[in-house]
Structure 1
Amino acid sequence: MSDQQAAPSEAAGPDGTDHQGADLDDDDTGAPPPVVIEPEDAEPAMPEPRVEVRRNDEGERYELSIDDHIAGYSEYKMSDGRVVITHTATLPAYGGRGVATTLVDQMLSDLRQRGERVVVKCPFVAEFVTEHHEFDDIIDG
């Protein structure tokens, strides 16, 4: 090396270019850097809705409520010591959310726990029990 030519600085790259102070994350495309959303910046999560199934003996039906609003019900009547399920409905605003399926599953579980025998006259419940054989032990006729 001649006296006239300065030695490359220690920060110089292999090509002799000085990269000292350069931001190595720059991609030189001109695109803005990606935005990282930290948990404290994210929108708060919606609380899970409170779902409750209860037996309404006075109304002779089981009711499923979401956040204290009735979303569906399954009507029954007592006959010869058995629970006859006659009709299941979901309010239109709650359709397509599995309300009737959840209602029937929990209703049949409750009836089993109570030691009740069940007769199914409701088409929806009839279809449900053909697909859920775990309730065969409480279904009559």
Structure 2
Amino acid sequence: MSTPGQAATTPRVTRNDETHEYEIRIGDDVAGIAGYHDQPGRILFTHTEIDPAFGGQGLGSVLAHAALDDAVSRGLTIVPYCPFIQAYLRKHPDFAGTVDWPEATPPRAD
């Protein structure tokens, strides 16, 4: 059973295929994003941002976990160019079998 106001403060992560971003929302506010590029069978994570107004709440980790879980559930290989996603993956080896570590700089969005 939820308490009043809980739904408004519970982080919710969704994939926005139009903008190529996973969004973490608190209520109606976008608290942060994880940008990505699609390739056949792969997802390239390029950057992660949390709005400073929502900093210090662990939302980056919530966002990273949800985005990576979604990628794995869709059968995609994770290619982490984003330093935050790289750090998250190093701390969470349960994703190790689905990661292809990049050796070059991230591709440019055109």
Please confirm whether the aligned pair reaches a TM-score higher than 0.5, indicating the same fold: yes
The equivalences for 1:39-50 within 5 A come to: 47-48=5-6, 49-50=9-10
Higher relative contact order (CA 8 A, sep 6+): 2
**Secondary structure, in 3 states, of the residue corresponding to 1:85?**
strand
Say which of 54, 58, 62 aligns to 2:18. Answer: 58
Measured in 2, the distance between the counterparts of 1:80 and 1:46 equals 43
Structure 2 residue runs without a partner (length 5+)? 102-110
Measured in 2, the distance between the counterparts of 1:107 and 1:121 equals 14
Say which of 48, 70, 78 aligns to 1:118. Answer: 78
Measured in 1, the distance between the counterparts of 2:83 and 2:52 equals 18
Q: CA RMSD in A?
A: 1.4
Structure 1 residue runs without a partner (length 5+)? 1-44
TM-superposed CA distance for 1:46, in Å, is: 6.0
1:21: which partner in 2?
none
Measured against aligned partners, the alpha-carbon deviations of 1:93-139 in whole angstroms (never above 9, x if no partner) come to 00010111100011111111111111000001101100100111211
**Secondary structure, in 3 states, of the residue corresponding to 1:63?**
strand
Superposition TM-score, scaled by structure 2 size: 0.82
Say which of 26, 45, 52 aligns to 1:92. Answer: 52
TM-superposed CA distance for 1:80, in Å, is: 4.5
**Secondary structure, in 3 states, of the residue corresponding to 1:108?**
helix
Measured in 1, the distance between the counterparts of 2:42 and 2:57 equals 30
The equivalences for 1:58-77 within 5 A come to: 58-77=18-37
Q: Larger C-alpha radius of gyration, 1 or 2?
A: 1
2:105: which partner in 1?
none
Measured in 2, the distance between the counterparts of 1:111 and 1:119 equals 10
The structure that is helix-richer by fraction is: 2
Say which of 131, 135, 139 aligns to 2:91. Answer: 131
Q: Tell me the number of residue pairs that the alignment of Structure 1 and Structure 2 aligns.
A: 97
